[in-house]
Structure 1
Amino acid sequence: MERAAALGRSARTNDEHSVHVRDVSVDTALVIEAARQVVTTRIATRASLTRHLYVAPEIADDLLAKLEHCEVIGPNAPGRRRHVITTSGELPGIIEEFRRRG
């Protein structure tokens, strides 16, 4: 649960079955995890990142913007999903670039 909070994820409580979101900035580790998720599933949506990475919708939007900026995904088109540009073979190079930029 501490790792989730450090990465800007929701912290789930067993007793309440509710989600509490901490307001923190997006770090490199979370961007890398989002890139892996998007490239692996070939789905780049706010809902997918929110569900799979346990992040707030605003953080998912920020992640999508960063992935678009780095050309992992294509631009947002109204009424359509974003196109995933990066292939699984290119992913290690993209991750290394994220780490270098920190």
Structure 2
Amino acid sequence: MPLIDMLKEAALRAGCLKAVPSVTGGRQDLTPEVLAERLMPAVYVHGTNAGTKAVAGGDHRHSEEEIRHARRRFLTAETARQIAIEIAPPINGIGCEPGTR
């Protein structure tokens, strides 16, 4: 199983996408699963400096424009920080519930 799939699954199970403002409020026509699938490549782009075009050519069903849109609309510094805080305990096997820190 690729690492990006494991991270996406951990994000969904931990419920950390609640940190993304437009998931919890406002008009949102993306399911949490689709949002996670689009955010993970966007995070990868930032982490590796690989470029959106190169990552969009990978083995997934989302276009370069969809990944760019998710990055522009949903991926802010504060959102990334909050997601990291929420996802760290489940990944590390710590027994606390998301949002209890």
TM category (shorter chain) comes to 0.3 to 0.5
Hey, which of these two has a bigger chunk of strand by percent? Answer: 1
Task: Tell which has more relative contact order, 1 or 2 (C-alpha 8 A, sep 6+).
Answer: 2
